[in-house]
């Protein structure tokens, strides 16, 4: 057989969402939350989704993570349809939900151990990511000995340790104070560049979205119409000292 055209494969971690629908039934009434979402995220790309409270951002992430089943539509990773949580994805929530009876290292290694990595190798890898998020020296600490920002870093290290191709982040820095938030944004940006993961970030913070993402999408909330993801088409600032002004008209 002669191949006349080169075979093009999507970069690892490419996410395709096609015509995705999700509704809930609340007090006997149907609530259509996601209505025909289409989205393409390139492998290694960082996108941020912003939008009014209740428009369905978390629901979209939960469907992507396999924590909710869509009513209709497809989620494809690298061109293949997916169901449920796979090794390719990791989710970081606003609250890291660490296991209080385990040390930082044990919390971070936990995800690897349940995937079958032996205890010593898992701990070794965990310590690498603990240092990567700037927590070297706290390997044997317990969650109750950590600040909110430190606990969130442990959550990020835990997600990275399984070396996902795709990171799903739901308001990961929402609960942090302003200074910790800035440091963590810088850390996330560095990790994203170094690890080459695809990042899908949901945030209320437009400045954070612009700083961290290649592409910022606004999710619409108009009921009865398809859910639109409007690309803000913003230039990505090279550094934080360059101000970016965004005017949004409803």
Return the number of the residue (31 or 246) whose C-beta is nearest ligand ADP: 31
* Residue pair 216/50 in contact by the 8 Å Cβ criterion: yes
Q: SS3 letters for 111-164? A: HHHHCCCCHHHHHHHHHHHHHHCCCCCCCCCCHHHCCHHHHHHHHHHHHHHCCC
- In angstroms, give the least distance from the CB of 227 to ligand ADP: 10
- In angstroms, give the least distance from the CB of 71 to ligand ADP: 13
* Residue pair 164/90 in contact by the 8 Å Cβ criterion: yes
- In angstroms, give the least distance from the CB of 150 to ligand ADP: 26
Task: Report helix, strand and coil shares of the chain as percent, to nearest 5.
Answer: 30, 25, 45
- Total site size for ligand ADP, rule CB under 6 A: 12
Return the number of the residue (10 or 66) whose C-beta is nearest ligand ADP: 66
Q: Provide DSSP, 192-218.
A: HHHH--EEEEE-S-HHHHHHH-SEEEE
Residues 19-78 that bind ligand ADP (CB under 6 A): 24, 26, 31, 33, 51, 53-59
Return the number of the residue (160 or 202) whose C-beta is nearest ligand ADP: 202
Return the number of the residue (18 or 221) whose C-beta is nearest ligand ADP: 221
* Residue pair 111/102 in contact by the 8 Å Cβ criterion: no
| Residue 203 near ligand ADP by CB under 6 A | no
- In angstroms, give the least distance from the CB of 31 to ligand ADP: 6
Return the number of the residue (24 or 236) whose C-beta is nearest ligand ADP: 24
Return the number of the residue (120 or 248) whose C-beta is nearest ligand ADP: 248
- In angstroms, give the least distance from the CB of 69 to ligand ADP: 12
| Residue 8 near ligand ADP by CB under 6 A | no
All residues at 6 or more sequence positions from 29 whose CB lies less than 8 Å from its CB, including other chains: none
- In angstroms, give the least distance from the CB of 105 to ligand ADP: 32
CA separation for the pair 134, 128 (Å, rounded) = 10
| Residue 3 near ligand ADP by CB under 6 A | no
CA separation for the pair 208, 68 (Å, rounded) = 26
Binding interface with ligand ADP (CB under 6 A): 24, 26, 31, 33, 51, 53-59
């Amino acid at each position: 057989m002669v191949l006349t055209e080169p075979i093009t494969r999507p970069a690892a971690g490419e996410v395709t969402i096609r015509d995705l629908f999700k509704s809930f039934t609340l007090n006997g009434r149907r609530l259509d939350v996601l209505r025909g979402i289409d989205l393409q995220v390139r492998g290694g790309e960082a996108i941020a989704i912003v939008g009014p409270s209740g428009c369905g951002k978390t629901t979209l992430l939960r469907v992507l993570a396999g924590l909710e089943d869509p009513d209709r539509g497809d989620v494809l990773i690298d061109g293949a349809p997916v169901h449920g949580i796979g090794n390719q994805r990791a989710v970081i929530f606003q609250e890291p939900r660490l296991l209080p009876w385990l040390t930082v290292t044990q919390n971070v290694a936990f995800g690897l151990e349940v995937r079958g990595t032996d205890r010593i190798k898992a701990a070794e890898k965990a310590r690498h990511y603990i240092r990567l998020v700037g927590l070297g020296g706290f390997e044997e600490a317990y969650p109750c000995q950590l600040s909110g920002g430190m606990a969130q870093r442990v959550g990020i290290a835990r997600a990275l340790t399984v070396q996902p191709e795709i990171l799903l982040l739901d308001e990961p820095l929402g609960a942090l104070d302003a200074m910790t938030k800035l440091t963590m944004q810088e850390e996330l940006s560095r990790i994203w560049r170094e690890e080459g993961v695809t990042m899908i970030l949901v945030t209320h913070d437009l400045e954070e979205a612009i700083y961290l993402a290649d592409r910022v999408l606004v999710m619409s909330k108009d009921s009865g119409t398809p859910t639109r993801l409007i690309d803000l088409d913003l230039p990505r600032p090279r550094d934080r000292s360059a101000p970016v002004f965004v005017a949004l008209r409803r």
